[in-house]
Every structure is written in structure tokens, then in C-alpha cells.
């Protein structure tokens, strides 16, 4: 009975003290087991009282251990809630800008210095803005150049395959002179590999005014590549796009003569970076601009591939995997 009183009085606030108490009473070699072993030696007329007493002791000791453990648990939880108020604060973690955004901003910056504004449009487009207005009527074979994702079964609604659709919208709503670039995400149903993805990012540019010539286009592109890559040579190769005539593919020389050599891991030579051309008169007409009065040029490039080049990234999929170890490497770049 003395033990029962002692158990009732006991208090502790460390896990070690509670455990010592438990072992003393409830452990394998604890007092209770000693008493239970003693039970057979107790005279018959005292057995009932002895039994009741040790059962009560066991119950009280067990309750005590649980009660103390709960109290302790509660206490540490409370502490956790408020933390250690004397602890110095955590430094604020700064994130990193995504390489696509870094390169996109560089491109926007370069063109805004020569008077281009930025225009945007929807990623879910209709057939008119993505194809028909751009001189790609239904059944035009060049539609196959861009494997299109259609939205459900409606052939009129699709994920834009290029941001030329934004240029159509811009021409419909603005009068020349027009100087605009259209950055944005585009979608094509292509197999995903280290070099291509089913979505990527473009910046397309459009310049419409009186007497705009092919020489203006070439000089603008030369200015652009020099600003982006350093001193660089470009080459225009004849090509075909339904919305420009004539059309060309722009290659930039990647090699010993460019200031960016040190950034390149492998390969020198001509590298294709964009398509361009003089806006087809049919496109101007479709967008409510008189081709007798105005002419213009357009160009379009993929941001992802340029980002791979500039930052020596070997796999385009890294750009959309959100791997923090990859993204953290762009900390500090603006």
C-alpha cells in the first residue's frame, strides 16, 4: 500500500525518468513481478487482499506511465508550435529564373531596343489564326509541316503550332507601322527526345511599314544575332513557308570567329536558328492590310534550342522536368 501512495505521488518530465519509473514497477525484474511471484507464499486468508492490492498497484503504475508520457508529448508539441523564439531567423531562399525565361527576356530586350513591342495571344487557337489566314487553306499540303494537336474532335480548335497566330491577331487589330514580337508556348505532335518535345517556346517577329525590304530583314537579324551571341556571322538559305515570299532559313556560324566560343561544348559550323521571309501579300490582305501600300518581314525562332546552345544543356527534356538540381544552376542569372 505504501507503494501505491508512492506511485500516486511520482512525477517526472524527462523520458529517461519516466522509463526508469516504468522499469522499477513494470519491468521484467520490476516490483510487480516480484510481488506476483510472492503471491503463492501468501497465507490463504490474505490472498484476496494481497491480490487486489498488487492488481491495483499495477493499474496505477500503468496509468501513471501513460499519463506522464502523454504530458511530455503534449509539452514538446507545444514547444514545436512556437519554436525556439531566441533562435536566429532562417535566411530567405531565393529561387532561380527558368532558363527559358532568361533567354526569352534577353530576346525581348534586344528587340525592344529597336522599337519592337511584345504581343501575346491564346494557346488554344482556331483554324483561321493558326492556318487559314497565314495562306494555309484547308488541304494545303504544308499543314503537314507542323503536326497539330486538335482539341477533342472539333477540327476548328487546336493548340497553336506557332505564334504566327498572334501576328495575325495583331494585324487584325492594329494599323501599320507594326513592330511586334510574340513570345509564347507552342505545341506539335512530335516524338519526345533529347532534341525535340511536343511543346516548346517561340519568339516570332513582325515588321510592317511602307517600303520594308529584304535588306531591312537581313540587317535586323544580323543586329539580333550579334547582340545575343556576340560578334557572329549569319547566312540566309532559301526556304519555303506558305506565309512568306521569299522565305529563308537563318544559320548562325558557331565557331572560332564568334565571341561565344567558350560557351560551346562541341561542334563548330553553321547552325540553323530561325525561319524568316517577306510577309506574303495574301496574308496582309487576309488581315485587312493593303499589300499595295505596305510590305513587311516576319521571322520565328525556337527559344528552347537557343537556350540549349547558350547554356550548354544537352537534353531539351531538362527544361520541363522541374528538377531542382538543374534549375538551381541558374541562380543569379537574370
From 104-112, 119-127, 293-301, 306-314, give the range in contact with ligand PHE by CB under 6 A: 293-301
Comparing C-alpha atoms, which of 200, 207, 208 is closest to residue 183? 200
3-state helix, strand, coil in the chain (%, to 5): 45, 20, 35
The interface region with ligand PHE, picked from 11-19, 36-44, 47-55, 297-305 by CB under 6 A, is: 297-305
Residue 288 CB coordination number (10 Å): 11
| CA dihedral angle for residue 18, residue 24, residue 25, residue 26, rounded to 10 degrees | 80
The answer to whether the beta carbons of residues 163 and 141 sit under 8 Å apart is no
Using the structure block, give the residue that is written with the C-alpha cell 547554356. Answer: 311
Query: Which residue of the chain is nearest ligand PHE when measured via CB?
Result: 300
> Binding marks (x or -) toward ligand PHE, 189..218, rule CB under 6 A?
---------------x--------------
Tell me the site size for ligand PHE, rule CB under 6 A.
12
- Among candidates 265, 302, 274, 326, which has minimal Cα distance to 99? 326
Closer residue to ligand PHE (CB): 65 or 298: 298
C-beta of 32 vs 319, nearer to ligand PHE: 319
Q: What is the 3-state secondary structure (H, E, C) of 308-333?
A: HHHHCCCCHHHHHCCCHHHHHHHCCC
Our CB check for ligand PHE shows the closer of 187 and 229 to be: 187
276 binds ligand PHE (CB under 6 A): yes
Q: Taking the complex as a whole, how short is the minimal distance between the CB of residue 277 and ligand PHE, in angstroms?
A: 5
The answer to the question of whether 257 is labelled as a binding residue is no
Q: Which residues pair with 200 in a beta bridge?
A: 186
Element (DSSP H or E) covering residue 148: none
Q: Which three cell numbers stand for residue 216?
A: 531591312
Question: Restricting to residues 141-180, which ones interact with ligand PHE according to CB under 6 A?
Answer: 162, 164
Q: Which of residues 232-261 bind ligand PHE (CB under 6 A)?
A: 241, 244, 247
Q: Is 300 in the site for ligand PHE (CB under 6 A)?
A: yes
Q: Could you tell me which stretch among 21-29, 114-122, 250-258, 298-306 binds ligand PHE (CB under 6 A)?
A: 298-306
Q: Where are the alpha helices (DSSP H) in 113-233?
A: 127-130, 164-173, 214-229
Residue 32 engages ligand PHE in binding (rule: CB under 6 A)? no
Q: Where do contacts with ligand PHE occur on this chain (CB under 6 A)?
A: 162, 164, 204, 241, 244, 247, 275-277, 298-300
Residues flagged as binding site for Mg(2+):
245
Amino acid at each position: 500500500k505504501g507503494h501505491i501512495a508512492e506511485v500516486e505521488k511520482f512525477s517526472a518530465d524527462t523520458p529517461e525518468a519516466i522509463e526508469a519509473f516504468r522499469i522499477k514497477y513494470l519491468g521484467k525484474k520490476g516490483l510487480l513481478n516480484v510481488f506476483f511471484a510472492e503471491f503463492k507464499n501468501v497465507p490463504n486468508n490474505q490472498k484476496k487482499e494481497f491480490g487486489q492490492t498488487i492488481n491495483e498497484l499495477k493499474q496505477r503504475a500503468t496509468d501513471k506511465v501513460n499519463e506522464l508520457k502523454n504530458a511530455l508529448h503534449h509539452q514538446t508539441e507545444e514547444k514545436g508550435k512556437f519554436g525556439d523564439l531566441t533562435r536566429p531567423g532562417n535566411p530567405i531562399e531565393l529561387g532561380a529564373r527558368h532558363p527559358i525565361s532568361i533567354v526569352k527576356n534577353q530576346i525581348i530586350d534586344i528587340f525592344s531596343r529597336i522599337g519592337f513591342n511584345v504581343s501575346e495571344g491564346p494557346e488554344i487557337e482556331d483554324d483561321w489564326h493558326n492556318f487559314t489566314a497565314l495562306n494555309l487553306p484547308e488541304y494545303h499540303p504544308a499543314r503537314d509541316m507542323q503536326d497539330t494537336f486538335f482539341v477533342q474532335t472539333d477540327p476548328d480548335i487546336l493548340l497553336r503550332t506557332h505564334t504566327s497566330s498572334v501576328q495575325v491577331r495583331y494585324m487584325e487589330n492594329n494599323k501599320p507601322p507594326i513592330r511586334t514580337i510574340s513570345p509564347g508556348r507552342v505545341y506539335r505532335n512530335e516524338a519526345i527526345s533529347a532534341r525535340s518535345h511536343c511543346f516548346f517556346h517561340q519568339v516570332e517577329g513582325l515588321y510592317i511599314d511602307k517600303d520594308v525590304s529584304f535588306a531591312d530583314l537581313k540587317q535586323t537579324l544580323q543586329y539580333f544575332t550579334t547582340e545575343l551571341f556576340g560578334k557572329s556571322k549569319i547566312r540566309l538559305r532559301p526556304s519555303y513557308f506558305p506565309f512568306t515570299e521569299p522565305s529563308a532559313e537563318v544559320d548562325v556560324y558557331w565557331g572560332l570567329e564568334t565571341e561565344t566560343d567558350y560557351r560551346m561544348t562541341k561542334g563548330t559550323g553553321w547552325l540553323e536558328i530561325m525561319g524568316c521571309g517577306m510577309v506574303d501579300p495574301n496574308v496582309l490582305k487576309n488581315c485587312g492590310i493593303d499589300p499595295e501600300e505596305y510590305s513587311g518581314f516576319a521571322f520565328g525562332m525556337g527559344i528552347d534550342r537557343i537556350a540549349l546552345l547558350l547554356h550548354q544543356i544537352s537534353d531539351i527534356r531538362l527544361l520541363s522536368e522541374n528538377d531542382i538540381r538543374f534549375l538551381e544552376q541558374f541562380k543569379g542569372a537574370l
